[in-house]
């Protein structure tokens, strides 16, 4: 049996590069996307296209509606997404406990699929200050995975959590993605995108758009994104 991995695939650029890395490393791929009621649901369509591109064995799209919890501008449409880069501390786009939940779901799927690796595209360099994107969080989740599942405790097969982008700059992620042939045109980063004639149009002003545009600029790679506003 070939080695297999669950890859968390949001449809953003980081998860796309993660998917390409796992593919390069010879894993049979099980992509997992979560529909958590995010306003940027076009991400999920991007995830489907990326999964097709990578030739995954399976792609599970799991509904986990976090809107009843509230507390984030990504899931609560009454809260505005911050634009223009002016806020202090962790912004309101933070979704409470999001990566704990995403890794928990990946852990569950890995156990069902018999996969011993989970890939997550978190990044602690050019990011929005989310606590669950830091190396300390990933290391502690690894400890949890070692004691949480039947596969780990009864069969001696704990899952290994891979976060291969965690210490890369966004520009380095772009360059790595280019070297792996990642179709960046198909990835969606914007927190508040629109659609125009079947194309995704990024707002160009949210944190995620600003970080993405800067990354392509610094990497000296043409940015294929359609932005409503270029800053």
Q: Which parts of this chain interact with a copy of itself (CB under 8 A)?
A: 60-66, 68-71, 89-90, 94-101, 104-105, 107-109, 111-112, 130-132, 134, 136-137, 140-141, 143-144, 146-150, 152-154
Which CB, 147 or 196, lies closer to a copy of itself? 147
The CB-of-195 to a copy of itself minimum distance in angstroms stands at 27
Report the alpha-carbon distance of residue 46 to residue 145 in Å, rounded. Answer: 29
Residue of 229, 213, 191 whose CA lies nearest to 82: 191
The CB-of-62 to a copy of itself minimum distance in angstroms stands at 6
The CB-of-227 to a copy of itself minimum distance in angstroms stands at 29
Residue of 163, 104, 92 whose CA lies nearest to 129: 92
HSE toward the beta carbon, residue 149, CA cutoff 13 A: 26
Residue of 12, 13, 39 whose CA lies nearest to 192: 39
Which CB, 131 or 224, lies closer to a copy of itself? 131
Which CB, 104 or 183, lies closer to a copy of itself? 104
Which CB, 21 or 106, lies closer to a copy of itself? 106
Contact yes or no for 167/125 (Cβ under 8 A): yes
User: Three-state SS for 4?
Assistant: strand
The CB-of-46 to a copy of itself minimum distance in angstroms stands at 20
């Amino acid at each position: 049996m070939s080695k297999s991995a669950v890859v968390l695939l949001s449809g953003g650029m980081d998860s796309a590069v993660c998917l390409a890395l796992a593919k390069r490393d010879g894993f049979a791929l099980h992509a997992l996307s979560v529909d958590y009621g995010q306003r940027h649901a076009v991400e999920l369509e991007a995830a489907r296209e990326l999964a097709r591109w990578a030739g995954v064995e399976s792609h599970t799209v799991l509904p986990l509606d976090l809107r009843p919890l509230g507390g984030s501008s990504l899931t609560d449409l009454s809260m505005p997404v911050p634009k223009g880069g002016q806020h202090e501390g962790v912004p309101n786009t933070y979704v409470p406990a999001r990566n704990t939940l995403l890794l928990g779901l990946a852990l569950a799927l890995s156990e069902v699929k018999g996969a011993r690796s989970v890939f997550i595209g978190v990044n602690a360099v050019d990011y929005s200050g989310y606590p669950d994107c830091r190396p300390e969080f990933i290391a502690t989740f690894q400890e949890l995975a070692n004691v949480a599942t039947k596969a780990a405790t009864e069969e001696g097969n704990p899952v290994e959590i891979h976060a291969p982008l965690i210490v890369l700059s966004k520009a380095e992620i772009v360059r790595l993605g280019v070297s792996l042939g990642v179709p960046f045109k198909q990835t969606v980063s914007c927190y508040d995108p629109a659609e125009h004639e079947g194309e995704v149009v990024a707002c160009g002003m949210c944190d995620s758009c600003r970080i993405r545009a800067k990354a392509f600029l610094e990497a000296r790679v043409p940015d294929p994104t359609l932005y409503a506003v270029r800053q």
